Amino acid sequence: MRGLYIHIPFCKHICSYCDFPKRIAKNNEQIETYIDYLLKELDSYKNYFNDIKTVYIGGGTPNMLSDELLEKLLSYIANNISNPIEYTIECNPELLTEKQISLFLKYKINRVSLGVESFNNEDLKKLNRYHSKEDAIKAIYLLKEKGISNINIDLIFAHPFDNIEKVRENLEIFKSLDVKHLSYYSMILEDKTVFKHLYNQNKLTLIDEDISAQMYEEIIDTLISFGYHHYETSNFARYGFESQHNLLYWQEEEYIGVGAGAAGFINGTRYTNSPILNKYYKGCKEVEVLTIEDIKKEYMMLGFRKIDGISLSDYKARFNSEVFYDFSLNKLLTEDLIEISNGMLKLTTKGIMLANEVFMEFI
Ligand SMILES: C[S@@+](CC[C@H](N)C(=O)[O-])C[C@H]1O[C@@H](n2cnc3c(N)ncnc32)[C@H](O)[C@@H]1O
Ligand code: SF4
């Protein structure tokens, strides 16, 4: 077992683009009850705790928790899991306080991921974010000042109000902040979001695909020129600061997921907890036993998300088989979407831009 993901499904406000399992809490008792069930679920995985290398507390908004509940959760983890190499908590900049950071330090959290989304105040409002560019910058400085240097920020490009100049401005501000890691996601129009609702009523225009591709190309080139390692489709890091927890997903390693809506992958079985609180409390989950073919396909899809690609020798060691025996890759190779270089099978520059076409081959 390698990773532990803990989901906190509460937010103060709901952003217009987001379909993560989350809700606005009715009151603190509801969150208290949730934490009790979460700790019970964690107890049920105790046998696996010896082998946990990374812990990731995500959401929703984990720093929605009161200081008392945050401490209850963090002390449980500290008492049960020894020295994970990477221990991340996702935070909303609007809610980050000095007290929270002191708890992170007390319980040895060594990485913070901030949902910044944009440094443009007008766009933040339109995305229904309640913090400003200045709040986000303040949160980054506060984390650094208190001694947390391994920081990720999330940004979103190609949202309905974006343009290439705004992408450039975001990148320049990002550069000036000297942050170790950036997840720069292309906005996906998800079902059950305010944006999808507006789109269905013809009240929202999406960014043209060619412009979105131009933005993505500019993001990659600029961040590489700033000295960042483009190591996954949407992820960039200073060398040595690549997210160990996320790499574990992309290498199809095992992980436990706890909390409403969280997923895990253990012994070839994937499970997804119900996102509905009452059902989650009763232990409802979907369980899927993957066949070896399913696992191989997933390994390929996830592997292609890594810019370095798939190691042919790792594939052989893991599956006792050859990639070229298991998959017919000629079409992707002749269309110049994938290539082999130094024992790695990876997306070409064209393939990175058209990654979805490659993934479709493995669905
Ligand atoms: C759980 S949130 C981050 C933490 C915290 N909830 C916050 O928003 O500040 C995870 C990230 O997923 C990304 N995200 C959510 N919905 C998305 C969408 N529809 N398309 C692209 N990225 C999305 C956002 O960048 C967001 O910061
Ligand atoms: S982006 Fe973050 S704060 Fe916004 S709704 Fe999603 S989980 Fe909540």
Quick check: CB of 115 below 6 Å from ligand 2? Answer: yes
Residue 115 lies in a domain: yes
* Confidence at residue 1, expressed as pLDDT on a 0 to 100 scale: 55
Give the pLDDT score at 9.
98
Task: Check if 11 has its Cβ closer than 6 Å to any atom of ligand 2.
Answer: yes
Cis-peptide into 58, omega within 30 deg? no
Q: Is residue 202 part of a domain?
A: yes
Model pLDDT for residues 273-319, shown as the tens digit of each residue: 999 999 999 999 999 999 999 999 999 999 999 999 999 999 999 99
CA of 47 to the centre of ligand 1 (A): 32
3-state secondary structure 240-295: CCCCHHHHHHHCCCCEEEECCCCEEEECCEEEEECCCHHHHHCCCEEEEECCHHHH
Mean pLDDT of 144-164: 98
Quote the ligand 2 centre to 313 CA distance (angstroms).
Answer: 39
Tell me what the pLDDT averaged over the chain comes to.
96
Question: Are 89 and 226 found together in one domain?
Answer: yes
AA identity, residue 299: Y
Biggest alpha carbon–alpha carbon distance for the chain: 59
> What is the per-residue pLDDT across 218-248, written as a single tens digit (0 to 9) for each?
999 999 999 999 999 999 999 999 999 999 9
Question: φ, ψ for residue 235 (rounded to 5)?
Answer: -120, 140
Residue among 317, 185, 188, 331 nearest 251 (CA)? 317
Can you give the CATH number for the domain in which 347 is found? Answer: 1.10.10
Last residue of a domain, one of 214, 249, 284: 249
Q: Is 59 in the pocket of ligand 2 (CB under 6 A)?
A: yes
- Regarding whether 234 and 159 lie in a shared domain, the answer is yes
Please choose from 65, 156, 243 the residue to mutate so as to test ligand 1's pocket, defined by most ligand atoms within 8 A of CB.
156
305 and 216 within one domain: no
Give yes or no for residue 18 CB within 6 A of ligand 2.
yes
Whether 173 and 305 share a structural domain: no
Percent with pLDDT over 70 in the chain: 100
- Kindly report, residue by residue over 34-91, the tens digit of the pLDDT: 999 999 999 999 999 999 999 999 999 999 999 999 999 999 999 999 999 999 999 9
What is the atom index within ligand 1 of the atom nearest the CA of 117? 25
89-94 average pLDDT score: 97
User: Residue 136: which H helix or E strand, with range?
Assistant: helix 133-145
Average pLDDT for 84-107: 98
* Nearest residue by C-alpha to atom 16 in ligand 1: 18
Q: What pLDDT does 106 receive?
A: 98
74, 175: one domain: yes
The crossing angle, in degrees rounded to 10, of helices 133-145 and 98-106 is 40
**206 in any annotated domain:** yes
Across 9-24, average pLDDT: 97
Q: How far is the CA of 342 from the centre of ligand 1 (A)?
A: 35
Which residue owns the Cα nearest ligand 2 atom 2? Answer: 60
Dist. CA 188 → ligand 2 center (Å): 14
**pLDDT for position 361:** 87
* Residue in the structure block whose two tokens are 């940004």: 155
Give the DSSP H or E segment for 271. strand 269-273
Give the pLDDT mean for 157-169. Answer: 98
Q: What pLDDT does 362 receive?
A: 87
> Do 50 and 146 fall into the same domain?
yes
Q: Is residue 321 part of a domain?
A: yes
240 and 311 inside one domain: no
Of 163, 172, 112, the C-alpha closest to 141 is 112
Tokens of 10: 């509460």
Q: For residue 186, give the ligand 1 atom closest to its CA.
A: 21
Number of domains in the chain: 2
CATH number (domain holding residue 156): 3.20.20.70
Residue 327 Cα to ligand 1 middle (Å): 34
Binned at pLDDT 50, 70 and 90, residue 143 comes out as very high
d(CA 188, CA 249): 20
pLDDT of residue 60: 96
- Specify whether 228 is located in the same domain as 125: yes
Range of the domain at 325: 292-363
Rounded to whole angstroms, how far apart are CA atoms 35 and 74? 11
* 46 plus 149 within the same structural domain: yes
